[in-house]
């Protein structure tokens, strides 16, 4: 019988997926469920046929420079792969895959949840009530910002941006404007009920809510900084469920403190799990711990999508979600 390929999971995965993987692979998992060190990742590359990292594992050129790695595939548990140096992986002859599609809906749902929470005092209302700070209904209590019918600007119009457009447009009657370096055609935009902005500035100047849905690349890193925040409508709300490094967090804190922005809803941070103290101090910011894809259904689907990539690769076929 052919020996089973040895795969290493960098974190604990949903139990059901771990059991299914056990049937076909020799699975090593990181029982402590801590982010792996560079040394542990190098060891994984030397010892496992497949290594399955997540967003918390920085596989840079230094880590990937392991001489004659045993690993032939990095099957990432997640859609974003900016933590993996693709060129370095290619140089070492390692294939890289990700998990698109399966987390689109849940991430879009969370972007809507953050938009509603940031605009409507959902979190501060809950906190105050539980702290006994509620003397009853009154017209001036926790006044929020209306969401329905407002203009939403989407920066990035890929799978998740489109799913947010659908929810905001059809569910909340919002006018949806989009900016993407690869914009939809006029016909597609009409069909999806969105307006295409010629540039980021136009989107920022004309939106009540701005939600980010693009990957972090050398071109997009820090794309929402002081000048861009200054272009946003006074009282606008920023939502980020994409990647923290898209935003200059200190500039955002300043824009919130000065009340130039009404609020923000963030699920991602530039140096996770660090969250700038100045953001935590601002009551009008809703901060979540990178929960975009965190539903039982989606996390299982992500694991199964990784398995599909592994199965195809180890069967000598092209894995469906190959990115390098
Ligand atoms: C993703 O899939 O990229 C999520 O951000 C979690 O990794």
Taking the C-alpha atoms of residue 111 and residue 159, their distance in angstroms, rounded to an integer, is 13
The residue contributing the CA closest to ligand 1 atom 6 is: 78
Mean pLDDT in runs of 10 for the chain (324 residues)?
92 98 96 94 98 97 96 98 98 98 98 98 97 98 97 98 98 98 97 97 98 97 98 98 98 98 98 98 97 98 98 98 98
- 95 and 129 together in one domain: no
In a domain, 324, yes or no: no
Taking the C-alpha atoms of residue 259 and residue 174, their distance in angstroms, rounded to an integer, is 23
In a domain, 66, yes or no: yes
Closest approach atom of ligand 1 to CA 302: 2
- 230 and 152 together in one domain: yes
- 264 and 277 together in one domain: yes
Based on the residue annotation, tell me whether 290 is a catalytic residue of this protein.
yes
With beta carbons less than 8 A apart as the criterion, state whether 36 and 81 touch: no
Given this model, what pLDDT does residue 156 score? 98
In a domain, 320, yes or no: no
With beta carbons less than 8 A apart as the criterion, state whether 45 and 310 touch: no
- 133 and 236 together in one domain: yes
Domain that holds residue 62: 6-102+296-314
- 46 and 128 together in one domain: no
Q: Is the pTM of this model over 0.75?
A: yes
With beta carbons less than 8 A apart as the criterion, state whether 70 and 48 touch: yes
- 118 and 14 together in one domain: no
The residue contributing the CA closest to ligand 1 atom 4 is: 78
- 86 and 133 together in one domain: no
In a domain, 322, yes or no: no
- 94 and 152 together in one domain: no
How many structural domains are present in the chain? 2
92 Cβ closer than 6 Å to some ligand 1 atom: no
In a domain, 187, yes or no: yes
79 Cβ closer than 6 Å to some ligand 1 atom: yes
CA of 259 to the centre of ligand 1 (A): 31
CA of 161 to the centre of ligand 1 (A): 15
Given this model, what pLDDT does residue 3 score? 86
Q: How many CB atoms lie within 10 A of CB 233?
A: 18
Taking the C-alpha atoms of residue 220 and residue 197, their distance in angstroms, rounded to an integer, is 17
CA of 132 to the centre of ligand 1 (A): 37
With beta carbons less than 8 A apart as the criterion, state whether 165 and 190 touch: no
Based on the residue annotation, tell me whether 141 is a catalytic residue of this protein.
no
Given this model, what pLDDT does residue 119 score? 98
Given this model, what pLDDT does residue 1 score? 72
In a domain, 160, yes or no: yes
What tokens appear for 204 in the block?
A: 């920022």
- 152 and 280 together in one domain: yes
Given this model, what pLDDT does residue 276 score? 98
303 Cβ closer than 6 Å to some ligand 1 atom: no
Cis upstream peptide for 5 (omega within 30°): no
In a domain, 321, yes or no: no
Q: How many CB atoms lie within 10 A of CB 198?
A: 9
Q: How many CB atoms lie within 10 A of CB 6?
A: 17
Q: Choose the catalytic residue: 26, 202, 272, 300.
A: 272
Based on the residue annotation, tell me whether 243 is a catalytic residue of this protein.
yes
CATH, residue 14: 3.40.50.720
In a domain, 234, yes or no: yes
What is the number of alpha carbons within 13 Å of residue 128 lying toward its C-beta? Answer: 12
What tokens appear for 294 in the block?
A: 């965190």
- 185 and 279 together in one domain: yes
For the chain, list the strands marked E by DSSP: 6-9, 26-29, 50-52, 73-75, 95-97, 151-155, 175-179, 194-196, 209-212, 236-240, 261-266, 285-287
Residues 6+ apart with CB under 8 A from 166: 108, 192
């Amino acid at each position: 019988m052919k020996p089973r390929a040895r795969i290493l999971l960098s974190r604990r995965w949903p139990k059901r997926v771990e059991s299914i993987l056990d049937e076909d692979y020799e699975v090593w998992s990181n029982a402590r469920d801590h982010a792996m060190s560079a040394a542990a990742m190098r060891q994984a590359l030397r010892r496992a046929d497949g290594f399955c990292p997540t967003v918390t594992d920085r596989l840079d050129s230094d880590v990937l420079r392991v001489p004659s790695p045993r690993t032939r595939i990095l099957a990432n548990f997640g859609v974003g792969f900016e933590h993996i140096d693709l060129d370095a992986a290619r140089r070492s002859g390692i294939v890289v895959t990700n998990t698109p599609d399966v987390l689109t809906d849940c991430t879009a749902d969370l972007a809507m949840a953050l938009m509603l929470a940031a605009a409507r005092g959902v979190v501060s209302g809950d906190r105050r009530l539980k702290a006994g700070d509620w003397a009853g209904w009154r017209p001036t209590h926790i006044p929020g910002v209306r969401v329905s019918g407002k203009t939403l600007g989407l920066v990035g119009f890929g799978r998740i941006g489109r799913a947010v457009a659908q929810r905001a447009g059809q569910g909340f009657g919002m006018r949806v404007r989009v900016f993407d370096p690869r914009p939809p055609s006029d016909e597609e935009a009409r069909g999806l009920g969105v307006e295409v902005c010629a540039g980021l500035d136009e989107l920022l100047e004309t939106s009540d809510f701005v939600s980010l849905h693009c990957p972090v690349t050398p071109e997009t890193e820090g794309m929402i900084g002081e000048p861009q925040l200054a272009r946003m409508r006074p009282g606008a709300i920023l939502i980020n469920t994409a990647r923290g490094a898209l935003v200059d967090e200190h500039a955002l804190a300043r824009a919130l403190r000065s009340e130039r922005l009404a609020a923000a809803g963030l699920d991602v941070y530039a140096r996770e799990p660090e969250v700038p103290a100045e953001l935590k101090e601002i009551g009008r910011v809703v901060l979540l711990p990178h929960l975009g894809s965190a539903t039982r259904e989606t996390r299982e689907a992500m694991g199964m999508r990784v398995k599909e990539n592994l199965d195809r690769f180890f069967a000598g076929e092209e894995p469906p979600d190959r990115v390098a």
